[in-house]
């Protein structure tokens, strides 16, 4: 059983994301931890001291919000969705800073996947929770599924995976397919060539095709080259053309400058992707 962590701020975007994650978890046959992180209140002093009464009041309010939030999400779904089995859900309220606390809880509780909602980068939510989504993508060692505002759940029949043409690609394809669940039927592997960059890769796409010809999978596969000025616009164009249910990108472990560049591309995809974005680590 997959263990899913769903951090929430109880916003309208989170209301949509909880409906998505409940249905996703139903198909994945997983369990959900609903997490709300309450930042501590401090006394105005030279040495910050937690304001216990105010902080406890916020924790109590968060606990009530969490219960109502989950009940509302389930009630809305049960009208139109027949659960195979209602997912196991536990609610957790933690005191701390959102990004570091989410990453720590995910490691502590052996979470398989973090699911978060987000809006576009110029929205109010980006200034708070959207920035938390980007921070978790950067800091967590665990895969993160980002659900864009308004995304409706559909069975994950088709994945698009952005590949780097590296020797690690087969492992990343395996990890993405295992997180997609039992409905997966097809995987599109897409490599982006940037117009102004030399395309130096560890392997070529024909080698990857040959590997999967010798090692057939329980789903069909296609391999694509696309070009563009930047990664996120090229991938969004590919998504519009191929209509996958989820887009997959990898958070690579690279030298600092290249890693910073690719992080910014991943953040742009998190804000602008028209389908849920799965970021592997």
- CATH 3.40.50.620 domain residues, the chain: 3-148, 158-280
CB atoms within 10 A of CB 68: 11
CA gyration radius, the chain: 20
Please state, for a pLDDT cut of 90, what percent of the chain lies above it.
Answer: 35
Architecture of the domain made up of 158-280: 3-Layer(aba) Sandwich (3.40)
Q: Is CATH 3.40.50.620 what the domain over 3-148 is classified as, yes or no?
A: yes
Listing DSSP states for 45-61 in one string gives SSS--B-HHHHHHHHHH
pLDDT band of 154, cuts 50, 70, 90: confident
Mean of the per-residue pLDDT values of the chain: 80
Lowest mean pLDDT among 84-98, 152-166, 181-195: 84-98
109 vs 105: CA distance, rounded Å = 6
- d(Cα 229, Cα 161) in Å, to the nearest integer? 19
Summarize the confidence of residues 32-44 as an average pLDDT.
79
Strand ranges across the sheet with 144-148: 88-95, 31-38, 3-7, 113-118, 144-148, 277-280, 246-250, 158-162, 186-194, 220-228
Nearest Cα to 2, choosing from 19, 20, 35, 27? 27
Comparing CA positions, the residue from 180, 200, 148 lying closest to residue 24 is 180
**Residue 108 clears pLDDT 80, i.e. is over it:** yes
pLDDT of the residue at 114: 95
φ, ψ (nearest 5 deg) of residue 23: -70, -40
Query: d(Cα 28, Cα 156) in Å, to the nearest integer?
Result: 10
CB 161 within 8 A of CB 189: yes
Encoded tokens for 122 = 């110029």
| Least confident segment among 38-52, 150-164, 241-255 | 38-52
Q: Among 43-52, 105-114, 142-151, 195-204, which range has the highest average pLDDT?
A: 105-114
135 compared with 6, residue with greater pLDDT = 6
Q: What is the mean pLDDT of residues 91-111?
A: 92
In this predicted structure, what is the pLDDT of residue 53?
62
Lowest mean pLDDT among 111-125, 132-146, 197-211: 111-125
């Amino acid at each position: 059983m997959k263990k899913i962590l769903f951090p929430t701020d109880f916003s309208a975007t989170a209301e949509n994301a909880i409906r998505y994650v409940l249905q996703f978890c139903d198909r994945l046959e997983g369990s959900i931890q609903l997490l709300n992180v309450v930042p501590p209140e401090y006394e105005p002093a030279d040495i910050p001291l937690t304001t216990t009464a105010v902080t406890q009041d916020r924790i109590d309010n968060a606990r009530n919000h969490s219960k109502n939030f989950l009940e509302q999400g389930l009630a809305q779904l049960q009208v139109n969705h027949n659960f195979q089995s209602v997912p196991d859900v536990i609610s957790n309220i933690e005191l701390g800073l959102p990004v570091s606390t989410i990453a720590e809880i995910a490691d502590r509780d052996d979470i398989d996947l973090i699911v978060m909602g987000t809006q576009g980068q110029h929205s109010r939510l980006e200034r708070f929770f959207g920035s938390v989504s980007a921070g978790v993508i950067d800091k967590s060692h665990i895969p993160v599924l980002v659900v864009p505002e308004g995304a409706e759940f559909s069975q994950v029949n088709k994945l698009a995976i952005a590949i780097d043409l590296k020797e690690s690609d087969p492992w990343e394809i395996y990890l993405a397919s295992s997180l997609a669940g039992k409905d997966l039927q097809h995987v599109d592997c897409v490599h982006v060539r940037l117009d102004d960059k030399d395309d130096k890769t560890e392997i070529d796409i024909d080698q990857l095709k040959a590997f999967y010809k010798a090692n057939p999978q329980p789903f069909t596969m296609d391999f694509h080259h696309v070009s563009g000025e930047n990664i996120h616009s090229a991938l969004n164009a590919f998504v519009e053309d191929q209509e996958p249910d989820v887009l997959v990108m990898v958070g690579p472990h690279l030298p600092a400058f290249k890693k910073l560049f690719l992080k910014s591309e991943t953040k742009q995809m998190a804000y602008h992707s028209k389908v849920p974005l799965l970021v592997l680590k």
